[in-house]
Amino acid sequence: MAPDEDGGPTRFALVIACVGIALVSTLVPFGDVVLYPFTLFGTWVHEMGHGLTAIALGGQLDSIDVFWNASGLAHCRGYAPGWPRGLVSLGGLLAPPLLGAFILAFARGPRRATIVLWALVAVMGVSVALWVRSVAGLVAVPGVAFLIGLLAKEGSPTLKHVGAQGLGVLLALDTIFGVDYLFTASAHVDGEARASDVANLAEAVGGHWLLWGVAIAVVSFALLALGLKLAWLAPLRLGRRKEAFPEDSASA
């Protein structure tokens, strides 16, 4: 039985990924240091969310900055004011949980996990070539891409599976872990005070930034729950249908 054709290995990978992240972040000394490269990875996903949303709305993404304190900036222009600006702000906040939920739902097996890992490496490489310009970003993004590529190339099927699910969990939790950023009107980016994404969202489309923070937190929790639920399910098995209809095997 192929490892990705049964719910057992998928559930095992999900449990190991969740337990591993919990242990590293809470019990391992300097666990936050161990996870630091992937914190910067979450920042990169956040800023790419801003940039790709701007592009989808007819604007441009000039560059992306990722800073050592895990803050970042996406330098976008060319989109209309008002609700498009709000969507660009929202795109960054929801990019990590959306991508995390997708990875959890899709990477339900070593083969699909390998596809996810190589796709991440490819997108990170393109972003470095086109948009990433800060020193921290030019170190962190290729560095994490190298680690992910190494896992995709040299890792065992189980390790690839656990690794992809772990990335999914980390991304799904990224916006929730940054709960202080969700509930503030300003943030320090590279030592400079700037309006937060929820403040920009409230200014663009109305409402209070605190209410937007609550709404985004709820959506992030929902995406995390959906991703975990889909990851827990066993993938569909074509083999079962073939066993049920032996004549299909004979004609294949």
Q: Cβ atoms within 10 A of the Cβ of 28, count?
A: 13
71 in a structural domain: yes
Residue 170: inside a domain: yes
Give the per-residue pLDDT at 25.
66
User: Residue 150 belongs to what domain range?
Assistant: 37-183+193-233
Residue 111 lies in a domain: yes
Task: Identify whether 4 is part of a domain.
Answer: no
Q: Count of domains in the chain? A: 1
Does residue 17 belong to any structural domain of this protein?
Answer: no
Alpha-helix residue ranges (DSSP H) falling in the chain = 7-26, 31-34, 36-56, 83-106, 110-130, 135-154, 157-177, 179-182, 197-205, 209-232, 238-244, 246-251
Pairing of strands 186-189, 72-77: unpaired
* Whole-prediction pTM: 0.85
Task: From first to last of the 252 residues of the chain, give the pLDDT tens digit.
Answer: 344 444 556 777 777 877 777 767 666 655 577 788 989 999 999 999 999 999 999 999 999 999 998 899 999 999 888 999 999 999 999 999 999 999 999 998 899 999 999 999 999 999 999 999 999 999 999 999 999 999 999 999 989 999 999 999 999 988 888 777 888 998 888 778 889 999 999 999 999 999 999 999 999 999 999 988 888 875 544 344 443 333 333 333
Which helix (H) or strand (E) is 63 found in, with range? strand 60-66
Measure Cα distances from 154 to 8, 32, 113 in Å: 23, 26, 13
Question: Looking at residue 26, what is its pLDDT?
Answer: 60
Q: Is residue 84 part of a domain?
A: yes
Residue at 18 is within a domain = no
